Amino acid sequence: MNSRKVLVVDDEKPISDIIQFNLGKEGYHIIAAYDGEEALQMVKTEQPDLVLLDVMLPRLDGFQVLRKIRESSQVPVIMLTAKEEEVDKVLGLELGADDYITKPFGMRELIARVKANLRRMEPAAGEGGHESVSGTQKLEAGELKIDFERYEVSKRAKVIELTLREFELLKFLATQDNQIFTREQLLKDVWGYEYFGDIRTVDVTVRRLREKVEDDSSNPKYILTKRGVGYYFKRF
């Protein structure tokens, strides 16, 4: 029996019921909230292992809820949205969402996303995780300093605020500098998706990361693009 607790937040009860039923069949312990304020209360009292969070909610919308969650918790959050606009996806990622999935979606895809995000939270030691470089918990590249143990990135002695996903992407690329990864490879190795995933998620996260760590995001020095192939990190 899976002991992981998943909070489903969606004001459309038929959709919520379907999600709860299918995740329940996978063995997850399911709890549900139907508005933003109830969701925040349940995050605090129930301490779920993952949150499925709809954008369009009464009382507080999904973005407001996410912003509040990130003030005190790094619980994985997957945004559920009926909107296709890129701005909504960018905003969700910027506020700290780990992933998003657009309605209507298949249950197989949703379950795969849930499993991938929960798997990411498991200890990586001894399981192929990229915890160190040459036995150290820190890496320096030019003026950029990455502390893997403290999940902290700084530049010119100033801490750069990254979301957990942005940090994990930077960490993955930096520990394998000059190795080029396709978007599909990054979805698999950083997001944990074997079969599903929108490659635009990678592009959006890379763009946000460049805006934070590069002096000029339009002319990056650290996170580079190999045209037609993918992304890589360059140490200098």
Chain segment 39-93, per-residue pLDDT in tens:
999 999 999 999 999 999 999 999 999 999 998 888 999 999 876 666 777 788 8
Q: Partners of 9 in the beta sheet?
A: 33, 53
Residue 131 pLDDT: 41
Identify whether 78 is part of a domain.
yes
According to DSSP, the β-strands at 144-147 and 50-54 are unpaired
The total of structural domains in the chain comes to 2
Close Cβ partners of 127 (under 8 Å, ≥ 6 residues apart) = none
Share of the chain above pLDDT 70, in %: 89
Which CATH number characterizes residue 200's domain? 1.10.10.10
The answer on 27 and 108 residing in a single domain is: yes
Answer with the residue of higher pLDDT: 36 or 188. 36
127/129 Cα distance (integer angstroms): 6
Confidence band, pLDDT 50/70/90 cuts, at residue 170: very high
Domain that holds residue 87: 5-120
Of 85, 120, 155, which residue is a domain's last?
Answer: 120
Q: Would you say residue 134 has pLDDT above 50?
A: no
Identify whether 131 is part of a domain.
no
Residue that has been written with the tokens 């509040």 in this structure: 68
Answer with the residue of higher pLDDT: 16 or 197. 16
Residue 208 pLDDT: 87
Residue 165 pLDDT: 85
The sign of the torsion formed by the CA atoms of 106, 109, 111, 113 equals: negative
Least confident of 7-11, 37-41, 166-170, 197-201: 197-201
The answer on 223 and 164 residing in a single domain is: yes
Identify whether 130 is part of a domain.
no
Share of the chain above pLDDT 90, in %: 57
Identify whether 125 is part of a domain.
no
Confidence band, pLDDT 50/70/90 cuts, at residue 200: confident
The answer on 15 and 116 residing in a single domain is: yes
Of 120, 148, 171, which residue is a domain's last?
Answer: 120
Identify whether 18 is part of a domain.
yes
161/158 Cα distance (integer angstroms): 10
The answer on 72 and 11 residing in a single domain is: yes
Which CATH number characterizes residue 65's domain? 3.40.50.2300
The answer on 150 and 81 residing in a single domain is: no
The answer on 149 and 108 residing in a single domain is: no
51/68 Cα distance (integer angstroms): 13
Mean pLDDT of 218-236: 93
Identify whether 174 is part of a domain.
yes
The answer on 158 and 102 residing in a single domain is: no
Close Cβ partners of 6 (under 8 Å, ≥ 6 residues apart) = 23, 28, 29, 30, 31, 48, 49, 50, 51, 52, 114
Q: Would you say residue 2 has pLDDT above 70?
A: no
Residue 48 pLDDT: 97
The H or E element spanning position 153 is strand 152-155
The answer on 196 and 96 residing in a single domain is: no
The answer on 225 and 160 residing in a single domain is: yes
Identify whether 129 is part of a domain.
no
